[in-house]
Amino acid sequence: MPIVLIAIAEWFGTALWFTPNAVIGDLQTTWDLAPADLGWLTGAVQIGFLAGTLGIGLSGLADRAPASRLFALSCLIGALSNALLPFAGGLWPAVGLRVMTGLSLAGIYPIGMKLMVGWAPGRAGLGLAWLVGMLVLGTAMPHLLAGIDWGGNWQTTLWFASLLALLAAAIVWRLGDAPPHGPNSPPPRSRLAGLAAFDIADFRRAASAYFGHMWELYTLWTLIPLLLVTANPELSPRALSLLVFALIAVGAPGCWLGGWLSQRLGSRRVATLGLAGSAVGCALYPWLAPHLGFVALVAYLAAWSLLAVIDSPQFSALSANACPAALVGSALTLQNAIGFAISAVSIGLLVPWLSALEATIAWWLLPGPLLGLVGLKRLAKPSGQGRPR
């Protein structure tokens, strides 16, 4: 039951992430925004998330404070900043609120992973698969919301997401932290606590595989609507939104399938299969895409999207298994910070070149999964080995 509750809370909490994307047209009209201004609302969340994860990961707060309380407080702050967005009145106050939302998400996503590892000892791959699957649904949700007719009341979309975040806070506050499963170890004293994990060889190798994965994943998801429009310029905005939702959300059952497989094959093998599959997706896309019909192209992108994320929770499981219990929260939070920074660089470098590179842009994603495979190959410990406590 705790695994299910934490997974649902993660879904509800991360629904805050891209909610303005669902009402971006209304915001543009209401605040008279230029198209170039719209990227600030998404970028502000990423900046806040990066700053928050770096702060939590380096300070050791993730391992000093009760994870359930930190998660619940972050949900409350995120719900408030998101609910205030309709009253911002313009771009720059809205950007400030979105930075605050990003900071709160730093206490929701990675701290949710720490909670899951604590409540699912020996089953981290399965528990994190459920959690990341719910994160994928949260990531895809704005595209679903954009395909729904809300009767012109766009504020309801934002307030609904805030209500979900409040429910997430209540769920985790009521659940609390997992009871200790072994001798307690003192929290890290270093002000740069998360960096200590990089002294552990297996953590470095699992983290490097995750970093390669992050070079590809979010850039692929950013490219999907652009690739669909290129293949079928006559798609209606509603049809495009629903298709993009489906192509990203397919990663949720993919993560759950990976979690089930991890109980039989181990996290390392599942991560290897995912990286190898997404590498094949990158390599073949430029050759196949020009010759596929639209339905076949959608099926190809769905398979590629699933393979690109099926391994995501397994990297966190491998990293958590490599760390002593007193470092898990800080280590996973810092790993998240670096991974999302790599995603931001990948998106910023590659997406603007889509019109010039066309389908061959997929080859520029390929180094990510290939480098990830190198990191996993060097991983020494079997994935089923529990982390030292």
CA–CA gap between residue 150 and residue 178 (Å, rounded)? 40
The SS3 assignment for 312 reads: helix
CA–CA gap between residue 308 and residue 292 (Å, rounded)? 20
- In sign, the C-alpha dihedral spanning 49, 244, 352, 272 is positive
The C-alpha angle 178, 266, 247, rounded to 5 degrees, equals 90
159-163, 179-183, 360-364, range with the lowest pLDDT? 179-183
Q: Which domains does the chain have, with CATH numbers?
A: 2-176+191-377 (1.20.1250.20)
Cβ atoms within 10 A of the Cβ of 179, count? Answer: 7
What pLDDT does residue 324 have?
84
Cβ neighbours of residue 181 closer than 8 Å, sequence gap 6 or more: 121, 389
pTM confidence score? 0.82
Give the model's confidence band at 355: pLDDT under 50 very low, under 70 low, under 90 confident, else very high: confident
Give the model's confidence band at 106: pLDDT under 50 very low, under 70 low, under 90 confident, else very high: very high
What pLDDT does residue 35 have?
64
DSSP structural state of residue 385: P
- Note whether 382 and 267 are within 8 A (CB): no
- Note whether 107 and 165 are within 8 A (CB): no
Q: Which residue has the higher pLDDT, 33 or 248?
A: 248
What pLDDT does residue 384 have?
40
Per-residue pLDDT, averaged over 209-227, amounts to 92
Report the amino acid identity of residue 291: H
281 Cα distance to chain centroid: 20
CA–CA gap between residue 88 and residue 92 (Å, rounded)? 8
pLDDT at 388 over 50: no
